Amino acid sequence: MTPTSKIERRKVPRQAAKVETTLVHEDGIVRKTGTIRNISPEGAKLSFASTEDIPDAAYILIPDRHQIEPYRVVWRSEDEVGLAFTAVEPAKPSKP
């Protein structure tokens, strides 16, 4: 029997991390604190005591990068969530 490996589907590899973070709802009320487990420019995996009350879309504070990113939940388990960052890139000027 040969060992099976997970197929990497991400466009950009993630870096391992152990950074405390906070998810914030659009109205500015703090919703949940947790830990970033891995992160890339496109998303992150976070761990929590429970993911039951994590909003499907809101903002994540990334303290070591001094950033606030809008996100959407891509997947969730009992104690982890996978997020995709949803920031819109600025429009590029059209050529004359």
Q: Which residue has the higher pLDDT, 69 or 4?
A: 69
Domains defined for the chain, CATH in brackets: 15-85 (2.40.10.220)
Of 91, 90, 83, nearest to 62 by C-alpha is 83
| Confidence grade of residue 80 (pLDDT, cut at 50, 70, 90) | very high
| Confidence grade of residue 28 (pLDDT, cut at 50, 70, 90) | confident
> What are the distances in angstroms from CA 6 to CA 9, 10, 67?
9, 12, 30
Q: Which residue has the higher pLDDT, 52 or 9?
A: 52
* Residue 37 confidence (pLDDT) above 90: yes
Whether residue 70 contacts residue 59, with contact meaning beta carbons closer than 8 Å, is answered with yes
What is the identity of the amino acid at 3?
P
What is the identity of the amino acid at 88?
V
pLDDT, position 1: 46
pLDDT, position 2: 46
pLDDT, position 15: 87
| Confidence grade of residue 89 (pLDDT, cut at 50, 70, 90) | low
